Amino acid sequence: VRANGLDDKYFDVGSFKETSWADRATGIIKGLGFETHVQRKSKLWMNSYHVIVGPFATQEQADAAKKALETNGFKPHLTKLD
């Protein structure tokens, strides 16, 4: 565990109803050089697919990633993996 506590922080950059849209976003983000994960969440009979980016070793890396994601049309917000 890192002393700065950022090793468990990630950005959630979007929630999609279709896996194809989540895969498309993942491809774009991987092209930017970031590690991505897709989290499937279920609520009643509906599924959603959340695209998660990270983790980040330093605050500077997290800030740079957020800026790059925003520049490419994403709206990142900090989250933790379930």
CA dihedral sign of residues 57, 37, 48, 32: positive
Global confidence as pTM? 0.82
For 27-55, b where at least 16 C-beta lie within 10 A, e where not — what string?
Answer: ebbeeeebebeebeeeeeeeeebbbbbbb
pLDDT at 82: 65
pLDDT at 1: 38
pLDDT at 8: 65
Q: Which amino acid, one-letter code, is at 25?
A: A
pLDDT at 43: 85
Q: Which residues of the chain have pLDDT under 70?
A: 1-8, 82
